[in-house]
Structure 1
Amino acid sequence: MIHVNRSILSALAIIGLVTTSGVNAQPRTDLILGMSVEPSGLDPTAAAPVAIAQVVWQNLFEGLVTINKEGEVEPSLAESWSISEDGLTYTFDLRDNVTFQNNKAFTADTAKYTLDKILKSDSINPQKALYTPIKSISAPDPDTLVITLSSPSADLLYWLGFPAAVMIEPSSEQNNATHPIGTGPFLFSNWKKGNQVTLSKYDNYWGEKPKLDKVTFRFISDPQAQAAALSSGGVDAIPQFQAPELTSQFQSDNKFETVIGTTSMEVIAGINNNRKPFNDPRVRQALMMATDRQAIIDATNEGFGTPIGSHFSPSDAGYEDLTNVWPYDPVKAKALLAEAGYPNGFTFTMKMPTLAYAERAAEIMQAYYAMIGVTMKLESSEFPAKWVQDVFKDTNYDMSIVGHAEPMDISIYARHPYYFNYQSTDFDASIAATANTTNEADRLLGYKKSQAILAQDVPALFLYAYPKIGIWKKGLHGMWENLPVPSNDITDAFWSE
């Protein structure tokens, strides 16, 4: 008979349990994600707030195409497409066996219904203007959708990837704001108003199944409370952290990963190009050289942000870094002012919207312009009401700072009228030529040319791309670094062991 000490057996049993639990430990399949703003509804085709898309775009609703994390167009519910030589006819081959989360089939008729709804005279779609080139839509068979345009639009595919163009199931339309039904990998579970929205995995999803079973979007408006929620474990991730001044505490904490990227919002100082002395490009160029972009970023966002030299964000495909066209050089700036006829400078007024980043930037710029003999007076303008009326509508201003949040909106400089009062036949021609292209490579080349024209002309002072500060627990993967589209796409998110 072999006698074994009971304490040894107990110890071995404990070791066995520990070893077994370690071997069988499984990665988490849930995620709690923090957001600053609670959406007003959950249907991105019926209302504008970006918070809607931050919950449902790509997670629950999908479009014919999508925009990936690099800002490029990719297939989604349409697996391929062709474009006619004249750029007026787009033929989409739709995926087979796609169902909505109420088990209704997605077909060309569904897609036609969705797009027709955007174009109706009584449409409340927040981006309806983007789709006005569409002349007609037909569904010759269940797997084929044909879109005919009245004029070429190289950006059509890009706009079709927007949240405003996601596919909807007709019978669910009336309830999508509160109980959305889409084709995506996650379906709506519940909404605790004032607190959170929960999505769960859709088992019949047509594509690759997500690794997460459940995602909860918690709404925390106060930046201090966001930081506290991260520290306490109340949330796992905040993809768009709103407190740059609190970021360093997470950068130095090895329990978190802090990822600094860019958004599609360009912060610029718009100039009224009709007014003297700004009708002289040399004056605008001189002010650009007198502006230390990095100093503004340091003052407004604790150093987070990317200097830009044209109206394009690094998060957009086709971006060119043109900050070297008119780099910070106050000596050359003063000389160029003298060449333009202002050796002793001049005086103008900066009409500041009541936005913290704009007010901080204006104060910095005022100091820099004084160094070259230019006096910039500061005038506060209540945002949005008074600012929109005075600056945007009446163009009663000299200069004003604001962030342009719409992705890929460089064509605003070809709008006439528009609040910049900028006139350039070269730029207008470049934008028009880009619109006529029928392939992605030519489209991006066209935008690079347009960026270069703006960088040279300086119809606005191009300051920086607004930062995307992402903070999440170590072990979480698949989160986006940059933000080409306002969203929180978590379809590729997963936890490592």
Structure 2
Amino acid sequence: MYKRKKMSLILALLMIFSIFITACSSEEAVTTPPDETVGNAEASKYGGIYESYIEADFNTLDPAFATAALDGFMVSLIYDALIGFDAEGKVMPALAKSWETPDEVTYIFDLVDNAKFHNGNSFTANDVKYTFERVLDPEVASPRTWVFDKLKGAEAFMEGNAAEVEGIEILSDYKIKLTLEDPFAPFLSMLGMPAAHIVDKNEVEKYADQTQFALHPVGTGPYIFDVYNQGERLTLNVFEDYFAGRAFLDGINYRVIPDPSTQVAEFEAGNLDELLIPAADLERFRNNPTYRPYLRDMNTFWNFFIGLMADKPPFDDVRVRQAFNYGVDREAIVRAVRGDTAIVSHGPIPPGLDGFRPEFKSYPYDPEKSKALLAELGYSPENPLPIEFLHIESTANVALLEPVQAMLNQVGFDVNLISMESQAARVQFREGGSHNVYYLSWGADYPDAENYLFPLFHSSNWGGGGNGTRYSNPEVDALLEKAHKTANYNERIKLYQDIEDIVVEEAARMWFFLSRNWRVYKPEVKDVVLYRIFNANKMLDVWLDR
């Protein structure tokens, strides 16, 4: 009885808060245009330590194992890839200064000749070959083999039938040719993924246990790993000899601050140079003239979802998955809890990527339909279906998921929310664990709709590869593989949309919302650029006027 009263109270408060948020959203409380917030009125200058924070400890600083967003972002500061991305997600040169594609399967890269690793070793084409083959090496067991498995001869190499990958050919110290088995349009963009950031063989293999390299990273990137104290801080120092030019900052200090209210307090106390504003504090910052000139906002590619384990009961039955989707009023929850920091998501392909359809809609809120589907299986509010719902421990997650729990309990589920510390939870996500529902997000590793489809839904990517729900459909596998080999742009986009139709119908994920990030900076932080690809910002342009 107490549990039902609590759930009813949560839903009532949700409705009241939703109305309040709508009423309080002010069209006058807007950010200053980017060219007026952190501008170039003064000459850029070198020096200073940038004080920032992370919400949890990273898992690894080894590119071959960097699957979480935080890991990928840190990898991008310490290492470089052949290509990078600009603020809008367009491909730009990095360790490859130029390239040519004489045909649909061949890429020839001219590499920079002035890049050095932090240990002083010169970067050459040999490092590219070593990095890519290391990710494919079954003894290394990287969860990102799919980044390079389209190279000619990759399969033979992974099966132990070849000593090297045929499709990686060193033409000179600063020229390398990559050849694919079949045409694959997103391949160039994939070379900017964390797994494709270049490592030094000498540094990796100095450790008998290569997992030690994850805590002793050496790359060619603009910042050098300095100190890491678990649960406290990560410190990076500037790399003076960075091939693309020294960053303006002397270094970056990332404190580990899990609690959003503490993050806000530390920023307002002057101890942080930036703050990702929590939804609960957004209106206060937007309406405060002290902070308003230094606000920046951007729609991101981060697509938040609730994953339903399709390989185990009860979610191996599509009716249960669909009942789950029908049973949650996403519009009300997002409006009430996230306000202007999110928009409702209807499918895997986010706005801004080719293939997105503004008219595409997924499951409406229909509690009666949800009840009817559960009734077919013998479940009801009086005889509920128990589910174990795992999420990473945070107050923000609880604020979102308690209303989900309340709504689902009203239609015939019995939801048990389980919170875990980030690293422990991610192990469970990869390995399957005892949960049958989980909450997570997916961001663009590269700006192509394929990145939201193949990793998440192809059956070869169960677990760490991206397919955490263990979804499997031979038709979807075949369509994804066909899309990989389809050179015609319009045909490929149509295949992506056909795949999206199927996976939304089969409901292995409840697409929840896409985030809109609002950040505020100290007045002395200059030339801030916000990037849509999470690992694109190498902190090269920002400087401190102090």
Q: TM-score normalised by the shorter chain: which range applies?
A: 0.7 to 0.9
1:111 equivalenced with 2:150 (yes/no): no
What CA distance in whole angstroms lies between the structure 2 residues aligned with 1:35 and 1:210?
Answer: 22
> Which of 353, 367, 372 is the aligned partner of 1:317?
353
Give the letter aligned to residue 493 of structure 1.
Answer: V
Aligned partner of 2:308 among 260, 264, 270: 270
Name the counterpart of 2:403: 364
Tell me the amino acid that sits aligned with residue 146 of structure 1: K
Give the counterpart letter for 2:304 in structure 1.
Answer: E
For residues 361-400 of structure 1, the C-alpha deviation after alignment (integer angstroms, 9 at most, x for no partner) is: 45423554577xx322113446489988998767987x62
Classify 1:480/1:402 alpha carbon distance in 2 versus 1 (closer, same or farther; 3 Å): farther
1:460 corresponds, among 475, 486, 509, to 509
Of the three residues 75, 92, 111, the one matched with 1:74 is 92
1:413-456, CA deviations, whole angstroms, 9 ceiling, x for partnerless residues? 23167665655455333311222245888766643443343344
Residue 410 (structure 1) aligns with: 453
Structure 1 position 212 matched with structure 2 position 248 = yes
The one-letter code of the counterpart of 2:262 is A
Other structure's SS at 1:74 match: strand
The aligned residue for residue 123 of structure 1 is 140
Structure 2: distance between partners of 1:386 and 1:197 = 23
Match of 1:433, as an amino acid? Answer: K
Which residue identity is paired with 1:364?
P
Amino acid at match of 1:92: F
Whole-angstrom CA distance in 1 between matches of 2:65 and 2:437: 31
Shift in CA distance, 457/91, structure 1 to aligned 2, threshold 3 Å: same
Provide the C-alpha distance between the structure 1 equivalents of 2:425 and 2:258, rounded to a whole number of angstroms.
Answer: 25
Say which SS state the counterpart of residue 297 (structure 1) adopts.
helix
Q: Identity over the aligned pairs, expressed in percent?
A: 18
In structure 2, relative to structure 1, the CA distance for the partners of 1:274 and 1:233 (3 Å cut) is closer
Q: Which residue of 2 aligns with 1:61?
A: 79
Matched length: 460
- Structure 2 CA distance for aligned equivalents of residues 178 and 419 of structure 1: 26
Show the counterpart of 1:259: 297
Could you tell me how far apart the structure 1 residues matched to 2:78 and 2:429 are? Answer: 38
Q: Equivalents in 2 of 1:439, 1:100: separation in Å? A: 39
Name the counterpart of 1:141.
172
Cα distance between partner residues in 1 of 2:114 and 2:400: 53
Aligned to 2:386: 349
What is the CA deviation profile of residues 191-216 of structure 1, one whole-angstrom value per residue up to 9, with x for unaligned ones? 374444132253x4443x36624232
Shift in alpha-carbon separation, 1:351–1:386, aligned structure 2, 3 A: farther
Letter in 2 for 1:410: L
Maintained 8 Å contact 1:195/1:218: yes
The answer (yes or no) to whether the contact 1:69–1:483 under 8 Å persists in 2 is yes
Q: For residue 237 of structure 2, what is the aligned residue in structure 1?
A: 199
Shift in CA distance, 218/359, structure 1 to aligned 2, threshold 3 Å: closer
- Cα shift at 1:470: 2.7
Counterpart position of 2:25: none
- Paired residue for 1:294? 331
Contact 2:390 2:418 in 1 (8 A): yes
* Other structure's SS at 1:447 match: helix
Match of 1:44 among 38, 52, 63: 63
Deviations 1:301-336 (A, max 9, x none): 46532311112344x733625575236353xx7469
Deviation at 1:405, TM superposition (A): 3.7
Report Cα offsets for 1:450-482 as digits up to 9, x if no partner: 334334443432112355443322464554545
Match in the other structure for 1:158: 189
How big is the shift at 1:222?
Answer: 4.0
Aligned position for 1:229: 266
Cα offsets for 1:240-295 (capped at 9, x unmatched): 55x443444433333342535435353224264886898466x7557545532232
Residue in 2 aligned with 1:432? 481
2:36 counterpart residue number: none
1:489 aligns with 2:538: yes
- The SS at the match of 2:341 is coil
* Higher share of residues assigned helix: 2
How many angstroms apart in 2 are the aligned matches of 1:67 and 1:321? 24
Alpha-carbon distance between aligned partners in 1 of 2:323 and 2:488, rounded to the nearest angstrom: 37
Tell whether the 8 Å contact from 2:226 to 2:236 is kept in structure 1 after alignment.
Answer: yes
**Secondary structure of the equivalent of 1:218?**
strand
**3-state DSSP class of the match of 1:113?**
helix
> 2:233, 2:400 → 1: CA distance?
34
SS where residue 309 of structure 1 aligns?
A: coil
- Structure 2 contact 303–442 (Cα < 8 Å) conserved: yes
1:312 alignment partner, SS class: coil
The change in CA–CA distance for 1:354 and 1:180 in structure 2 (over 3 A counts) is: closer
Residue type at the aligned position of 1:138: E
Could you tell which deviates more after superposition, 130-139 or 438-447? Answer: 438-447
Report the residue type matching 2:50 in the other structure: I
2:412 aligns with: 375
Q: Do the aligned residues in 1 keep the contact of 2:326 with 2:369 (CA within 8 Å)?
A: no
**Closer, same or farther in 2 for the Cα pair 1:448/1:94, shift >3 Å?**
farther
Preserved contact between residue 200 and residue 213 of structure 1 (Cα < 8 Å)? yes
Q: In structure 2, how many angstroms separate the alpha carbons of the residues matched to 1:199 and 1:69? A: 23
Cα separation, 1, equivalents of 2:349 and 2:107: 27
Structural RMSD (CA): 4.4
Paired with 1:120 and 1:476, the residues of 2 have a C-alpha distance of: 43
Cα distance in 2 for partners of 1:196, 1:446 equals 43
Query: Is the contact between residue 309 and residue 321 of structure 1 (CA under 8 Å) also seen in structure 2?
Result: no
2:11 alignment partner in structure 1: none
With over 3 angstroms needed to count, the CA separation of the structure-2 counterparts of 1:361 and 1:79, relative to structure 1, is: same
Segments of structure 2 that go 5 or more residues without pairing to the other structure are: 1-40, 155-164, 208-212, 445-450
Aligned residue number for residue 400 of structure 1:
437
**Distance in 2 separating the partners of 1:439 and 1:82:** 19
Q: What SS is found at the alignment partner of 1:291? A: coil
Where structure 1 has 5 or more consecutive residues not aligned to the other structure, the ranges are 1-23
Aligned to 2:16: none
Structure 1 272/183 Cα, relative in aligned 2: closer, same or farther at 3 Å?
closer
